[in-house]
Amino acid sequence: MSAELTGQNEHYLTVFRRNFRDWRGTRPFWAGLFVLLSGFPIMYFPYAHLQVGHLTLAMATTAGAGSLIIGVLLVVLGVSLWFQRHVRTFAGVASILLGLVSLPVSNFGGFVMGFLLALIGGAMAVAWVPGEPVAEPAEQAATKQDDAAEHASTEAGDAVGEPNDLSGTSPANGANGRHSAG
């Protein structure tokens, strides 16, 4: 047995937590969570009946169905951010727009709680960019050598007529900067 084997003696919760952390790091998890949570106050408050002592305060509005649709759409967008990360821009913009629409439709956007969560989650979804994979140490050394060789060749190849010359006036392109269309 080797001292480097760690998979056999690990607790299953430790393995689950590590796998969840890896999964969470490859997608806009927090944006999806904020968008998902924004749907619940927007759905709840138009149908809520609050008890204040012996007084029942009904929060029902005429736009209850609209609030329910907005809330369900926000929950679906939040879940789609978790499981289909390529729709992050669409889901982010849609959640921002639904959050804005919830202001007049759903009791000021679920008393501003759902509105703010939708705006923050949507902005996070639009701003999220997938990270670059971590390279192995051997690959990092090869990449550094390739970068150094490329840097040296670009410094030496800045003369006119080289492939990096984009001015269009070099004698190598034959037209001396003019298009030879006729």
Structural contact between residues 46 and 64, judged by C-beta atoms closer than 8 angstroms: yes
Give 107 or 70, the one with higher predicted confidence. 70
**Rounded Cα–Cα distance for residues 73 and 97 (Å):** 11
State the burial class of residue 176 (Cβ atoms within 10 Å of its Cβ: 0-12, 13-18, 19+).
exposed
Give 67 or 134, the one with higher predicted confidence. 67
Is the pLDDT score of 9 beyond 90?
no
From the centroid of its chain, how far is CA 156?
40
* pLDDT tens-digit series, residues 152-182: 555 555 455 555 555 555 555 555 555 555 5
What is the average pLDDT across 117-123?
A: 96
Give 61 or 21, the one with higher predicted confidence. 21
From the centroid of its chain, how far is CA 131?
11
- Output the six-digit token pair for 177: 């900067």
Structural contact between residues 75 and 94, judged by C-beta atoms closer than 8 angstroms: no
